[in-house]
Every structure is written in C-alpha cells, then in structure tokens.
Structure 1
C-alpha cells in the first residue's frame, strides 16, 4: 500500500544501518571536539547508544489495536489504510481545521533524531526517527491563551484493526501532554524510521514520540489534536490509574505494581548483557528535568 505522503527520502537515499553507525561515530568524535551538541538532532540520544536494526524496530511492537502480542502489529497492521489521511486540529487554536497530512508534512522541517525508546514492560530500543517538532506544528495553528494541555486521538477502524474487537481499553486510544511538554524541542511528530516511511505497526503515517516518557505516551496513527484548558482523558490512566499515571515519566524509583522499573531489557542485545540500569527520564534528565521542578515524581508518576 502506498504511503500517504511522498517521503523527502527516497529508498535509495535512506541511510544504510552500517553507514548510519559510522556517521554516529564521526559525530560523537565531533562532539568531543566541541563541534556538536547533545541537543542537536543527530545527537539526541544519550551518549553511547547505537540504533537497533530496522528488523527489530518493525517486528517487536506494542499497538493493541492490532493485537496484544509483540508480533501482532507487524502481522496485521498492513491492513491499515494510510491514504487519504487527515488530522483534525481543534480546541483552543487560532486556525482550527481538518488538515491533510500532505499539507502538514510538506511544510515541516524534517529532521533525523536518534532516541532511546522505553516501554513500561521494561524493554527498550534505540530508534532513528525522522520527523518534525510538535512545537512547530502548534505554532503554525496558533495556541490560544489559556490552553494548558494537548490531547491526542488514534484512528479507530474496526474493519482494519482487529484488536478493537476486544475491550482492552476504552477505544479510541487517547493520550495527552501538558503544553510545556508538547512544546519541548525533544517532542517529535515522527513520519519515518531510518529515512523510510513509517509502517503501520510503528504508527503510520504519523505518530508522537516523547523520548523521556514510557512508550504508551507516544500515541500512534494520530487523527485528532485538541488544545484545551483541562487535563485530558488518557486511555491507560483510565483503564488502570494505579499502574499508569498521567505523566508516565521514565523513573527507575517508581515501580510498576507488577514489576520493577529499575532495569530494562535491551531488545536485540542477546542473552548476555541484555539488561541495563534504567536512567531517570530515560537518559534525558539534563534536557527535561526542569519541567518537573518542585513536583513529587513518585506521587505524580
């Protein structure tokens, strides 16, 4: 099935994994010479991490609309129709409208971001995303005074999403951020991986990526964005408030009630050395800790 928008990267231009790794080594050396910055797009991941292979990223996924098994999304998400695709942007904005994704992406500055991606089930990957900042989109539609939160909604298509037959959650899937989190320069609207268009299992054709939070906050296949004054409904928090807080920042000191979050299993690392200690804010504390100054992150988890 053809993607909804023509990627600025042709398949022939997509960075091969070996070349990507070599470029990372060069850029890490440049950073050591004062020629780069951790805040820059290509150096966004915590130091020392290398991207997972494309096969890992596209075959081990959480996307419950296609099933609860880790391989279910890759098996069934090919049925998702991604063309045409539009996003309703409404609420407290100056330019509310239903925007075609071609218009959104066509006006965006696409960047490459290498982010660690951490799931609440205590597994992690490192993913080279292609996308643009959510802040740039919100600035284009005009955020009105008084807006404090951004709410998101995933597509709900029972004929294409077999997981919707089961009441795992109150469908459609919904998530939300505080406005300052949404406007942070690390918060990404992703449209691709490794320079290729997103596949259905990864949230095609456009998804959110918030790298310092657990993966379920990074909502997939977005069809609606709403600016509002009140804290929005979020699906996992509604389903089980005790286990899934609104903030869901990666915090090794806050255990999930059924397992520890102090360590994580690195997908693709093999049997030996496959677990690592979990970093506060997933390794992005220097960039985002000030957003939560004065908060008790064990209570406001």
Structure 2
C-alpha cells in the first residue's frame, strides 16, 4: 500500500494562532496530583470528578476546556495563566526544558487517520467521538484479565504531568504536556504471566465515531505494540489529558499511548484493548508498508525513510529546521533496551 503521508517539508505550515487559553493502589484520601502550578490543582481534581461530562462537551470541540477555563479570561490571559507556557515552570524528573507547543497548535495539527488523512480533519471531526461511556478490555498473558471502565482505570493511579518531545515520522515535531500515569504501573497491577513478551494495543473500530474508517487507507482497527521491556520503561506513559485538560478527541481521547523515543505513529490513540502476548504484534503500519515502517519505529536520524531524510525536523510553530536527536533525545533512558541490535535492520 502506498503511504498517503508526505514528508513534513511538503505539507502546509500551520499558522501561528493565539492560544485560547509505583505501583501501589492508593485510596482517594491518599491520592495527590503533583502539578507544575498550583492553579491547576482544582482543574485536575475536577478532571476526575467531571469526566462523565466529556461526551457532552466534546461536541463543542474542546474536551473540558469550556468547563475548566477561568470565567472572564481573554485568550491572551488564558495563555499567560497556563503554567506550561512559562519558561520558569517547575520541571519533573521526566520533563524536557524545551518550549511547550501551544494548546491551539497541539490540537489542530494532527495525524489521526480514523478521522481522515488531512491534518485538519481530526479537530474538525472530533465531535463524533464519544469518550464516555468507554471500556478497555485487558486480556492475554495476564493473571487478572478484565474489562474496565475508563474512569475506574484512571482512578487506580495518581495522575501526573509529563512534558515530552514528540517526533512525527513525517519530519515535524512538538513538545507536549501530557497528563496520565506510567504504563508500567498498569502492567504490574495486571500481573503478567511468564509467557508475556509483548504488549498489543487496539484502537476503537466504529465508523460512526471515526468517519475516516470508511476509507480503507489502512486496515482497521489500528493496532500497535511494544516489547514488554519497552512497555515497562519509566518513560512509557498512558495519557488521559493534555495541557492539564481532558484529552481532546483529536489527540486520542479518552486513552492513548505515549512513547516519546519512537515516531508518533507508535502512539496509538483511543485504546479499547490491551493484550499481553508471547508473539510480536503485526502493527497497522507494518501491514500497510513493511518496507517503510518497522515494529520498533525508534527515532533515528541515521536511518532515512525511503522517501525522505530523518536527519532534521521542524518544530511546529518555528521556522527553519533542527537536527533530529537519536531516540528523540531520550537515548540515556532507552538506548540500553536495544544493545546489540542492528537499528538499521530493526527499524
């Protein structure tokens, strides 16, 4: 199958716009959310308690934004109040110091082929996605297989911020402030069996909610996977929010994977099933174009895509290009996972 993507330097540049704005179970009284700014504490607590309303406000195109913005703030004031936009923001142990991509750009320049292949399709059509009610089936090589409601699932873990670089295989990048929990915490809670070697993720298949699935540009549903040791790496993250708000539909509501050292297409969105298995999953892009998209999809400036170089990238919102970093700048944390492997062959 021919890949409908094009390298970033052939795609339109989005216009800069003003931003509108351990694995233990803990009790509600023990659970605390660490935020980079105290003004987000009430919004995070509200995020959990008001999640049932996301299906209603999703049709408004902004997740819970209309409920979490302070009344009376102008767009400029809302941006200034966003702690993720401040250069002096406190940083967590996994955070990058780089400038965060504004909410407006992070939610209007997206690849989400379930809505369509144009960058503007996800934001334009995201109102069709209903993130509540939502369940996630967990099965395979685990001692505790179950089907769990998304609100119960996220209540198992204290939510935390992670400010990660995101590099698309097309050659553009962003810096995203995710809200969620470590994937390792979920996997350990499920008690994998000794046969578990890989984790397979499956996205929702529903042509009413995802009009792009009516077109066979890919084989649906979207499937991705990680080796178990990759999934257990501290950087692997399950996101339920973005910029301190409920995750918008166009960014993968209500649950998505974030593995920042891999190209963006590995970060599967709108997950409905997590399966631990002894076999390497056949992922969607491997089926579509195996000569172009491998299982690992690690960011590697030394290995070009067959149709364009990966040596540089363009950060959305900036002019010019910058050098692409091995493993997207996370080599210290993840390079050991691939010791002895040929990263040109295992691309």
TM-score by length of 2: 0.77
Render the CA deviation track for 1:25-81: whole Å, top value 9, x for unaligned.
2546xxxxxxxx7xx14xx22x4x110100000000000010000000001111111
The 2-side partners of 1:24 and 1:190 are apart by 23
Pick closer, same or farther for the CA change 1:142–1:125 going to 2, 3 Å. Answer: same
The corresponding residue for 2:326 is 280
1:25 and 2:88 are equivalent in the alignment: yes
1:295 and 2:341 are equivalent in the alignment: yes
1:248 and 2:294 are equivalent in the alignment: no
Within the candidate set 41, 54, 65, 1:3 is matched to 54
The corresponding residue for 1:112 is 161
The corresponding residue for 1:144 is 193
**Aligned residue pair count:** 281
Within the candidate set 197, 210, 218, 2:259 is matched to 210
Pick closer, same or farther for the CA change 1:265–1:185 going to 2, 3 Å. Answer: same
Within the candidate set 64, 67, 71, 2:120 is matched to 71
The corresponding residue for 1:32 is none
Deviation at 1:109, TM superposition (A): 1.5
The answer on whether the counterparts of 2:166 and 2:173 sit within 8 Å (CA) in structure 1 is yes
1:185 and 2:231 are equivalent in the alignment: no
The 1-side partners of 2:226 and 2:185 are apart by 16
The 1-side partners of 2:53 and 2:251 are apart by 16
The 2-side partners of 1:219 and 1:22 are apart by 26
The 2-side partners of 1:127 and 1:22 are apart by 11
Deviation at 1:23, TM superposition (A): 5.5
The 2-side partners of 1:239 and 1:141 are apart by 31
The 2-side partners of 1:160 and 1:292 are apart by 38
The corresponding residue for 1:262 is 311
Classify the secondary structure of the residue corresponding to 2:124: helix
Within the candidate set 148, 154, 160, 2:203 is matched to 154
The corresponding residue for 2:146 is 97
Q: CA RMSD in A?
A: 2.1
The 1-side partners of 2:178 and 2:132 are apart by 21
The 1-side partners of 2:127 and 2:324 are apart by 33
Gapped runs of 5+ residues in structure 1?
29-36
Pick closer, same or farther for the CA change 1:26–1:266 going to 2, 3 Å. Answer: closer
The answer on whether the counterparts of 1:92 and 1:147 sit within 8 Å (CA) in structure 2 is yes
The 1-side partners of 2:228 and 2:238 are apart by 15
TM-score by length of 1: 0.89
Gapped runs of 5+ residues in structure 2?
1-51, 56-62, 71-76
Classify the secondary structure of the residue corresponding to 2:54: coil
The 2-side partners of 1:196 and 1:127 are apart by 12
